[in-house]
């Protein structure tokens, strides 16, 4: 997974913008939902926030407060930094966060949690809870045309193919996995839960 996202750094946002290898995807209501999602994330109260697996910083830039962007990919951190999406940038492991207990008010993660297996999810939630009392997870909403979990073949612009584990969520199920919480956003394409 690390090598895939490191290789994908410069083209990560292509799926959001529907360009490149994603140009032929049919996603009714996508632009409107993306705008509503942005508004929902911006409406969170300002907080000292750690964005775990921040990637290119696409969602990072909507977070209010003092933001620290963490990613395991040096290429992703470079892209996020070039775009000035956070106040600080840290290269690090999401499952072994390089911070003291209680260093943040909030941990946020976008489109990371859905790539974790059972053991990794437990480790991540434990680490997130160690460094912050609040956890906000943004990920893909479950729809009838997708399985709740699947292995996907992903293709990059250079033609390389990668196998990626992916989960999709109902907001109630995601909140239950996180130990309770409230739905911040629920749409056709995205879900956000604050726990």
Average pLDDT along the chain:
94
Domain count, the chain: 1
Dump pLDDT digits (tens) for 124-149. Answer: 999 999 999 999 999 999 999 899 99
40-49, 64-73, 148-157: which has the minimum mean pLDDT? 148-157
Strand bridging mode 49-52 / 149-155: unpaired
| Token pair 């508004």: residue | 39
Binned at pLDDT 50, 70 and 90, residue 107 comes out as very high
CA distance 101 to 99: 7
Q: What pLDDT, on a 0 to 100 scale, did the predictor assign at position 7? A: 82
Dump pLDDT digits (tens) for 2-22. Answer: 788 878 888 888 888 888 878
Binned at pLDDT 50, 70 and 90, residue 68 comes out as very high
Q: Which helix or strand (DSSP H or E) is residue 142 part of?
A: none
CA distance 90 to 118: 25
Q: What pLDDT, on a 0 to 100 scale, did the predictor assign at position 115? A: 95
Query: Are 94 and 77 a contacting pair, CB within 8 Å?
Result: no
CA distance 129 to 127: 5
Q: What pLDDT, on a 0 to 100 scale, did the predictor assign at position 4? A: 82
Determine the average pLDDT of the residues in 23-27.
87
Which residue segment(s) compose the domain that 60 sits in? Answer: 2-194
Please state, for a pLDDT cut of 70, what percent of the chain lies above it: 99
Q: What pLDDT, on a 0 to 100 scale, did the predictor assign at position 126? A: 97
CA distance 96 to 36: 32
Dump pLDDT digits (tens) for 156-175. Answer: 888 889 998 999 999 999 99
Q: What pLDDT, on a 0 to 100 scale, did the predictor assign at position 3? A: 81
Q: What is the CATH number of the domain that holds 154?
A: 3.40.50.150
């Amino acid at each position: 997974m690390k090598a895939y996202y490191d290789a994908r750094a410069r083209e990560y946002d292509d799926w959001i913008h529907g360009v490149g290898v994603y140009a032929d995807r049919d996603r009714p209501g996508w632009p409107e939902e993306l705008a509503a999602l942005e508004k929902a994330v911006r409406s969170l109260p300002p907080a000292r926030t750690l964005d775990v697996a921040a990637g290119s910083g696409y969602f990072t830039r909507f977070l209010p407060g003092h933001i620290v962007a963490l990613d395991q990919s040096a290429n992703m951190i470079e892209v996020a930094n070039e775009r000035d999406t956070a106040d600080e940038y840290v290269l690090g492991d999401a499952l072994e966060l390089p911070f003291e207990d209680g260093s943040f008010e909030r941990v946020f993660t976008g489109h990371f949690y859905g790539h974790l297996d059972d053991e990794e999810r437990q480790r991540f939630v434990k680490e997130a809870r160690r460094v912050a009392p609040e956890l906000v997870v943004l990920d893909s909403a479950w729809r009838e045309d997708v399985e709740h979990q699947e292995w996907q073949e992903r293709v990059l612009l250079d033609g390389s193919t990668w196998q990626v584990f992916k989960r999709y969520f109902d907001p109630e199920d995601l909140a239950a996995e996180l130990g309770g919480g409230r739905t911040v956003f629920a749409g056709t394409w995205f879900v956000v839960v604050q726990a």
